[in-house]
Structure 1
């Protein structure tokens, strides 16, 4: 009798645990925050990573306008820096989480609006980066032979929108191999103490095979005393420029430079005024620049025209003056002058439940580690708002289920992460045939055809 009662009690307890567990599952499902991230570059993936790690119920959906993920890690990192792309492994782990979904080939603002996303999700994080470039705003900028550095980088990295100029794609590799470029000038409005490149980039340029640097000693004389009190990274960078410009190179370096067939140089205190046309009026033949002087010192120094003018003959001009974010749609507050979404710690001003991270939050500055920390900060703001009740989980949200209906009605077919992995495998297979890590597909239609869309 006692044995039977014990078995019966155990069965009832087991059923009760199952019922309680089921009840708890229902309650937690109702309380699971539905969050979407717009943009699958570093800012988007780092935001998602932090949310998933620090909230055990959060469901995060990542939307991307291209079929393929990873943003500037795929399309902005130079092909000869594959180590920088290792973060893709971390992003892939995030995408494989059972609480994370990726939806490519979806253009927010066209295929689905931000307002529609806000109705479907408890929180919407805009992490779509800076997809435009700043313009010089000078006569002749539209002549043939003048491009933005962004378009040039997109070309050799196989960015679909730049593929017709096109690790490095076969088309661009062939074009660069046949290049007749022998000398490249890097021109800046200010001086050696205001350069924006890093010491690592400078070392790579100095050690570039087959090339020699052209540094005017007059630009660097006397800088040794000036840099005593500047921050260490700036000091080390300037010391390397001073050494390269003023000191006699070692025997090995001198031999390498003597046999070099190409040159690169730094030209300071010059501000572009006009791109000069060739005789046909269509092609660029050079650039006219204002010679400047500096007012102030350090990072805050301003370049002021002296009245003198200098002309530089060149057939190819690349403007590298920064990227620029654009508003997705009219419902989003946007500072067009700064090119950012006005925000406080990632919370979009005047728009509860709307957040931003990455370049669209702070402007196109910093490297991947900067973006990581910035994105973690925004994700933390979302978590705090969930905890405080500012984001009301009692308001049921359907997340992608709701968005899927909208996309279906508009004839849009999202690309999943497993679809991307088919594209990835195809690129790696194509690259293997060419003796490369991968050969990128550059036509979205070809990508979609490959996965049966």
Structure 2
């Protein structure tokens, strides 16, 4: 009964270190780890101990006998990563090599780090820092709620992926960790303010902007980006009032990565199913009135160059009605005949079995379309040319979205590479005292767990600088920082405030059998945060002694 990793794998790598026989690969020390679409369990070497199950932060691992029907393709997907062998391998105790945590050598004062952002890269960086006794991490987030794209960027029907927030909650409860939520760097505090009160400042702010499609008509009513729609689904307060018109039978998404799949899947899902997720109430209301019958996912290139990952394709085709027209079926057959890469072949084999778009649709469906280069958008219509030709193709649509990637944005007082849309760095080091991790460091690549090894590299650079005496001691202690923050932002939300918001959202969702019902306005979040119990006199005294 070997265990199997399924679609919701976040590549965190915790399972790798938990496995006593080193049968999960690629491991963080192997070259393919950063680019792997997921991790894979070797079915021959697996000894069925279950250690990986408890280690996985998103519940992506199960015995092969307990998989749901839609998950059965992952048995072969895991096995195909490994060479064919005869017989069962003998059990071993060869644990995967654990990358050692950076060791902080005590200075005159404990290492104190400001982390800007609260998504996966930020939380993993805090985790690495807090493995050392006495280290302090102050985390700053402009929203009253933490966890970045895990909260606002993971599709509502991928609840298992969102379970990684349980790990983040544990990190946030560590001794030495402090949340400063609803506090924006560049508005309430400056980079200089942070440097004055910390040994180092680590920015993990992601890549919040979309790459824009530069064609005529973008910006017309009914156009937008897939990432904006995902934020709207998820109740992000900056996108709660996004005008989304689903009154037309067709929608088009330009770009065929995983985010495009997420949006297409939600737009064609049964609202009664979505009602049991954490989808925002305003989005669910609009979806219940939707007239969308087909979502076209249009790609410039051919099937062999598809941007989506194999796990996402397996998940999409298991739950949604996905079709190709006859011309695209021919393209798939052509590419399949010449494909040498096993991963590409696996994608093409699934595509070759999709239904024909000419067949009558019995429910809302998704159509994958290839070799379409967008040219212009007019009112309710997008025009393409067949890539490499002058042949014109037009699609009428009430909603036209782009999903062609993310871009980082400049951070005040830091250098910026406009071409790569990242902060230039060397192993995460921008300058002694200033560091980056995550997408603002390496660009928008990888998965949730990829940020773990990325953050470790940055923290190692930071700790090396601290140990070598290159970092300047803060001017004041934690009390001075807390006072400054409250002077600049009286509505700051602390960890207790976040826990009160979290509890209120979960309570609101219980009546509708939902994991939570999110607040979508900052004022609502702040009202919930205000119900948190205030620290006792004893707690304040102890905090003062630690300072």
Query: What range describes the TM-score normalised by the shorter chain of this pair?
Result: 0.7 to 0.9
For 2:400, the equivalent position in structure 1 comes to 317
SS of equivalent residue, structure 2 residue 239? helix
CA distance in 2, matches of 1:143, 1:400: 49
Q: How does 1:259-278 map to 2 (within 5 A)?
A: 260-277=362-379
Q: How does 1:427-442 map to 2 (within 5 A)?
A: 427-442=505-520
Distance 1:242 1:212, change over 3 A: closer
For 1:290, the equivalent position in structure 2 comes to 385
Q: How does 1:63-142 map to 2 (within 5 A)?
A: 63-142=140-219
Contact 2:120 2:147 in 1 (8 A): yes
Q: How does 1:301-450 map to 2 (within 5 A)?
A: 306-329=389-412, 331-348=413-430, 351-392=431-472, 395-398=473-476, 400-450=478-528
Q: CA offsets per residue over residues 244-294 of structure 1, 9 Å max, x none?
A: 369xxxxxxxxxx877322321111112111112xxxxxxx111123213x
Of the three residues 354, 357, 360, the one matched with 1:244 is: 354
Distance 1:337 1:212, change over 3 A: closer
CA distance in 2, matches of 1:85, 1:43: 15
CA distance in 2, matches of 1:245, 1:226: 22
Structure 2, gaps ≥5 residues long = 1-104, 245-277, 532-547
CA distance in 1, matches of 2:469, 2:522: 41
SS of equivalent residue, structure 1 residue 261? coil
RMSD: 2.1
Q: CA offsets per residue over residues 22-47 of structure 1, 9 Å max, x none?
A: xxxxx968420110100000010001
Of the three residues 118, 140, 149, the one matched with 1:40 is: 118
Of the three residues 193, 213, 221, the one matched with 2:323 is: 213
CA distance in 1, matches of 2:505, 2:211: 32
For 2:63, the equivalent position in structure 1 comes to none
SS of equivalent residue, structure 2 residue 330? helix
Q: Which has the larger radius of gyration?
A: 1
SS of equivalent residue, structure 2 residue 378? strand
For 2:339, the equivalent position in structure 1 comes to 227
Q: CA offsets per residue over residues 115-146 of structure 1, 9 Å max, x none?
A: 21111111110001122212112111111110
SS of equivalent residue, structure 1 residue 385? helix
SS of equivalent residue, structure 2 residue 507? helix
1:446 deviation in Å?
1.2
Contact 2:116 2:139 in 1 (8 A): yes
CA distance in 1, matches of 2:222, 2:487: 43
**Alignment length (residue pairs):** 389
For the pair 1:153 / 2:230, whether they are aligned, the reply is yes
1:396 deviation in Å?
4.3
Contact 1:431 1:439 in 2 (8 A): yes
CA distance in 2, matches of 1:291, 1:258: 25
Name the structure where helix makes up a greater proportion of residues: 1
SS of equivalent residue, structure 2 residue 279? coil
Structure 1, gaps ≥5 residues long = 1-26, 247-256, 278-284, 294-305
Distance 1:400 1:227, change over 3 A: farther
1:235 deviation in Å?
2.9
SS of equivalent residue, structure 2 residue 343? helix
Please report the TM-score for the alignment, with normalisation by the length of structure 2: 0.68
Q: CA offsets per residue over residues 61-102 of structure 1, 9 Å max, x none?
A: 111000001111111111111111111111111110111111
Distance 1:208 1:28, change over 3 A: closer
1:421 deviation in Å?
0.5
For 1:162, the equivalent position in structure 2 comes to 239
1:313 deviation in Å?
1.2
Runs of 4+ in 1 over 6 A off after TM superposition: none
1:400 deviation in Å?
4.2
CA distance in 1, matches of 2:355, 2:322: 12
Q: CA offsets per residue over residues 1-34 of structure 1, 9 Å max, x none?
A: xxxxxxxxxxxxxxxxxxxxxxxxxx96842011
Distance 1:371 1:205, change over 3 A: same
SS of equivalent residue, structure 1 residue 142? coil
CA distance in 2, matches of 1:170, 1:107: 27
1:242 deviation in Å?
2.6
Of the three residues 283, 301, 305, the one matched with 1:190 is: 301
CA distance in 2, matches of 1:411, 1:41: 21
Contact 2:432 2:465 in 1 (8 A): no
CA distance in 2, matches of 1:92, 1:212: 37
Q: CA offsets per residue over residues 149-208 of structure 1, 9 Å max, x none?
A: 111001110000011139101221121122100111101111111111112221232233
Please report the TM-score for the alignment, with normalisation by the length of structure 1: 0.81
